[in-house]
């Protein structure tokens, strides 16, 4: 049996946003059959249910520490604006959560459907054919996964980008 959760932007202490998987407290109670106790056994049980529900790989890593928030139990993951291309599972998961077809997602960032499919299915170790960082950020902004950014945040992200080498 899985568990209900949502993927949402999470402000970190340094002011940047990260992805977070949040399990509402009522879903935690339903999954455990009782109130959550702040202990390893309860956290482990909730993590197992999250994994069964098809959560992204980063949310089920053993070193993710749950955070107790008013909204629920939060598993805080990778930065939203990392200056690296997203892994194919991230692209698939973001499109799925936005409830878009591959064609719709491709249209949002202005590419062909075959290029979008390549971004979702490319071997994670391959550098050629990965989704460009700018396209990833554009998709996240246009699907409202992240709020609009300040010019300072955009400048910070742009400084860390490397130009693509042709040839």
What is the band of 102 on the pLDDT scale with cuts at 50, 70, 90?
Answer: very high
What value does the mean pLDDT take over residues 52-65?
Answer: 76
| pLDDT for the residue numbered 65 | 75
Residue length of the chain: 167
What does the mean pLDDT of the chain come to? 77
Last residue of a domain, one of 49, 79, 109: 79
| pLDDT for the residue numbered 140 | 82
Last residue of a domain, one of 24, 49, 79: 79
Q: Are residues 45 and 95 in the same domain?
A: no
Residue 59 and residue 77 in contact, taking contact as beta carbons nearer than 8 Å: yes
Q: Are residues 71 and 133 in the same domain?
A: no
Last residue of a domain, one of 51, 79, 107: 79
CB count in 10 Å sphere of residue 48: 14
Q: What is the DSSP string of 4-33?
A: --EEEEEE-TTS-EEEEEEEEHHHHHHHHT
Phi then psi dihedrals of residue 133, to 5 deg:
-55, -45
User: Is 144 inside a domain boundary?
Assistant: yes
pTM: 0.52
Residue 31 and residue 19 in contact, taking contact as beta carbons nearer than 8 Å: no
What is the band of 9 on the pLDDT scale with cuts at 50, 70, 90?
Answer: confident
Q: Are residues 102 and 70 in the same domain?
A: no
Half-sphere exposure of 82 (CA within 13 A, CB side): 12
Q: Are residues 72 and 97 in the same domain?
A: no
Q: Are residues 17 and 52 in the same domain?
A: yes
User: Is 1 inside a domain boundary?
Assistant: no
Counted domains in the chain: 2
Candidates 45, 76, 46; CA nearest to 59 is 76
- The token duo for 46 is 């909730």
Q: Where are the alpha helices (DSSP H) in 85-132?
A: 88-97, 102-109, 113-121
What value does the mean pLDDT take over residues 2-31?
Answer: 81
User: Is 113 inside a domain boundary?
Assistant: yes
Q: What is the CATH number of the domain that holds 109?
A: 1.10.260
User: Is 125 inside a domain boundary?
Assistant: yes
CA dihedral of 45, 49, 50, 54, whole degrees rounded to 10: 150
Q: Are residues 97 and 140 in the same domain?
A: yes
C-alpha 71/C-alpha 23 separation (Å) is 8
User: Is 166 inside a domain boundary?
Assistant: no
- What domain range is 97 assigned to? 88-159
User: Is 164 inside a domain boundary?
Assistant: no
User: Is 165 inside a domain boundary?
Assistant: no
C-alpha 156/C-alpha 35 separation (Å) is 42
What is the band of 126 on the pLDDT scale with cuts at 50, 70, 90?
Answer: low
């Amino acid at each position: 049996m899985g568990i209900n959760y949502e993927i949402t932007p999470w402000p970190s202490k340094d002011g940047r946003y990260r992805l977070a998987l949040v399990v509402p407290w009522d879903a935690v109670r339903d999954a455990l059959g009782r109130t959550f106790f702040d202990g390893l056994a309860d956290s482990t049980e909730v993590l197992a249910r999250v994994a069964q529900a098809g959560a992204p790989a980063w949310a089920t890593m053993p070193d993710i520490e749950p955070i107790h928030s008013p909204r629920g139990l939060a598993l805080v993951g990778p930065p939203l604006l990392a200056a690296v291309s997203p892994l194919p599972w991230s692209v698939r998961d973001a499109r799925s959560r936005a409830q878009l077809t591959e064609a719709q997602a491709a249209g949002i960032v202005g590419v062909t459907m075959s290029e979008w499919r390549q971004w979702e299915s490319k071997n994670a170790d391959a550098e050629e054919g990965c989704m460009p960082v700018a396209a990833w950020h554009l998709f996240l902004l246009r699907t409202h996964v992240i709020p609009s950014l300040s010019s300072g945040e955009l400048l910070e992200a742009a400084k860390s980008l490397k130009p693509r080498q042709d040839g």
